Structure 1
């Protein structure tokens, strides 16, 4: 199966996978080789968009959060769990926060990007001030690392600022925009209180 082609068709042509395709997809994701292959990224997105977050489905996707999973593939598992299915139980949020703490591991860059996006999304969805406080700390930590010329932190900081703005814009009906430069990210950072929730007293 060409998972990427199916994902694009689902995204742009409202394509619905057949039962035989679903069986093939599920069997592939259950296989031992799926965690090491980048093409599993598209497979996971197809699976999550075409399935409900039933316990067995969630358990299958969680398999791809493991340390040995290909980073690009792991990022799709994060997206599926937290952006597509929007899982938000306390244990789900704890798992997401655990993913955020690993941002400095270079081999988890794609996973960190996905976790940052999902955390800002759920922060607004749940109006979760604790999650907001964690994201504030993350922004400040990343900014400090940018000041120390950390190449890894620059991309994550820029993305985190964009994600903070974009999810705020979506939640408040404001104009959405895209940026990917540090110069555009800094104004969002300096005004970060606007894009986060009020601090916990």
Structure 2
């Protein structure tokens, strides 16, 4: 099966996968080798878009959050669980908090980008202050790493600032924008409290 082709058809053609395709996809995701293959990224997105978040399905996708899973595929599991299925249980928040804390691994960049975006999304949707606090700390840690010329942190810092603004803009009916430089990201960072939840005193 060409998972990428099916994903594009689902995304742009409102394609519904057949029961035979669903069975093949599920069998593939259950197989041991799926955790180390980049094509699992598209497979996971197809699975989440075409399936309900039943306990069995959720557990199947959660296995791709493990640290030994290929990074690109792990990022799809994050997207599937928290952006497509919009899960927000205590366990889900705990999982996201754990993923945010592991940004510095050079084999986790795709996962970190997905986790940051989903954390901002859930923070607004659930008004979750644990996520807000974790994102505030991540902002500050990434900014300090950028000041030390940590190349690994630059793109994540820019993305975190963009995601903070973008989710805030969508929540407040403001114009969305795009930027990809540290210079454009810094005003968001300096005004970061505006894009996070008020702390509980």
Q: How high is the TM-score relative to the length of structure 1? A: 0.98
3-state SS in 2 of match to 1:178:
coil
CA displacement at 1:134 relative to structure 2 = 1.1
Shift of 1:180: 1.3
**CA apart distance, 1:32:** 1.1
1:114-135 CA deviation, whole Å, 9 max, x = no partner?
A: 1000000000000112211111
TM-score normalised per structure 2: 0.98
Q: Indicate the RMSD between aligned Cα atoms, in angstroms.
A: 0.8
Q: Does 2:158 match 1:161?
A: no
- Displacement of 1:13 after TM fit? 0.8
CA contact (8 A) 1:58 1:81 kept: yes
Structure 1 spans left out of the alignment, 5+ residues: none
Paired with 1:149 and 1:111, the residues of 2 have a C-alpha distance of: 22
Q: Following the alignment from structure 2 to structure 1, what is the Cα–Cα distance between the partners of residues 102 and 18?
A: 38
Task: Give the unaligned 5+ runs of structure 2.
Answer: none
Instruction: Determine helix, strand or coil for the equivalent of 2:60.
Output: helix
How far apart are 1:198 and its partner, in Å? 0.7
Aligned partner of 2:27 in structure 1 is: 27
User: How far does residue 96 in structure 1 lie from its aligned partner after superposition?
Assistant: 0.9
Task: Give deviations 1:61-109, integer Å, cap 9, x for gaps.
Answer: 0111112111000000011111111111111101110011100111111
Taking the aligned partners of 1:121 and 1:172, their CA distance within structure 2 comes to 13
Distance across 1 between alignment mates of 2:199 and 2:63: 34
- Misfit runs of 4+, over 4 Å: none
1:152: how far off?
0.4
